[in-house]
Homo-oligomer: A and B are copies of this chain.
C-alpha cells in the first residue's frame, strides 16, 4: 500500500522545485526502472502491482493495487511499477570529444529523444541552458529509455560556459543561413549548439558561435518551416560521427 505521506511526496516530484528540494525523481515502467537499477542508481522506493518483476533486489518495495498506482502515476495508462530514485551527482564536463549544448529546449519528449541520441552516438557530455526542461521531468525519463544513466547532463549558464570554455575547440550552431553540414569538414572535437523549438538559438548565444551550419532543404517547394529539434540533432550528430 501507499501511505498518505508517500502519495504527497510522489505527487510533489512532478514539480522541478520539489525534485531539487528532495533530490529525488520518479520513473515509471518495468523496463525503465530495471535499466536505472542496473546503472546502480540509488533507489528510494518502489511501488508495483507484481513484486515478482523485481526479484532479489532487497529494496524498499511496496505492493500496490491498480487503484493506488493510478493515484500516484503521471501516466494516463499506468505501467506495472513506479519507482522513486535519488538524483545522481553530475560529473564534471570532460573536455574531450563532442559536447552537445542545448539553448532552451522546452519539450520533454525532445530532450528525452536527444539524450537517447547522445547515448547512441557516444556523445558523453550534454550541456543544457538553465531554461532547458529538467532532465528529471517524468516525461523526459520516460522518453530516454534508460540512456539518461549513460550521458553526463549539466545545467549551466550557457553564455558563461561558451565564453569560458576550457576546451580549445570550435563552437558549431545550426542556423537557417549556415553552411551545408554536408559540405563542411567536421572535427572529432567541438561543441554543437542546438536551439529552442520556436525561436532557435538566442541572440546572445549566436554571437559566440563562429561555425554556422545548416541542414539543406530539398525540392523546389521548400515551404517546410524547419525540422523538429530532435530530428535535426539526429542528422547533425550523424554527420559529425560518420566522417
B113, B182, B224, B234: the one contacting A235 at CB < 8 Å is B234
B116, B122, B147, B225: the one contacting A145 at CB < 8 Å is B225
B150, B215, B231, B241: the one contacting A231 at CB < 8 Å is B231
Please indicate which of the listed interface residues A120, A223, A230, A241 has the most CB atoms of chain B within 10 Å of its own CB.
A120
Is A109 an interface position by the 8 A CB rule? yes
Residue of B nearest to A234 (CB): B231
Contact mask for chain A residues 116-147; partner B; CB cutoff 8 A; 1 contact, 0 none: 11011110000000000000000000000111
How many angstroms from the CA of A113 to the CA of B109 in the assembled complex? 12
B116, B121, B227, B242: the one contacting A120 at CB < 8 Å is B227
How many angstroms from the CA of A120 to the CA of B234 in the assembled complex? 14
How many angstroms from the CA of A121 to the CA of B215 in the assembled complex? 10
B109, B217, B234: the one contacting A234 at CB < 8 Å is B234
State whether A218 and B182 are in contact (beta carbons under 8 Å apart), knowing that A113-B231, A145-B225, A231-B234 are contacts in the complex: no
State whether A117 and B238 are in contact (beta carbons under 8 Å apart), knowing that A218-B122, A219-B122 are contacts in the complex: no
Number of copies: 2
How many angstroms from the CA of A94 to the CA of B232 in the assembled complex? 28
Is A55 an interface position by the 8 A CB rule? no
Number of chain A residues whose Cβ lies closer than 8 Å to a Cβ of chain B? 33
How many angstroms from the CA of A117 to the CA of B234 in the assembled complex? 12
Please indicate which of the listed interface residues A109, A113, A227, A232 has the most CB atoms of chain B within 10 Å of its own CB.
A227
How many angstroms from the CA of A239 to the CA of B14 in the assembled complex? 39
Residue of B nearest to A122 (CB): B219
Report chain B residues within 8 Å CB of A231.
113, 116-117, 230-231, 233-234
Q: Separation in Å of the A149 CB from the closest CB of chain B? A: 9
Is A221 an interface position by the 8 A CB rule? yes
B150 and A218 contact, CB distance less than 8 A? no
Is A228 an interface position by the 8 A CB rule? yes
Please indicate which of the listed interface residues A217, A221, A228 has the most CB atoms of chain B within 10 Å of its own CB.
A228
Report chain B residues within 8 Å CB of A121.
218-219
Q: Separation in Å of the A116 CB from the closest CB of chain B? A: 6
How many angstroms from the CA of A58 to the CA of B117 in the assembled complex? 47
Q: Separation in Å of the A234 CB from the closest CB of chain B? A: 4
5 A–B contacts from the bound complex (CB under 8 Å): A116-B224, A119-B223, A119-B224, A122-B217, A150-B221
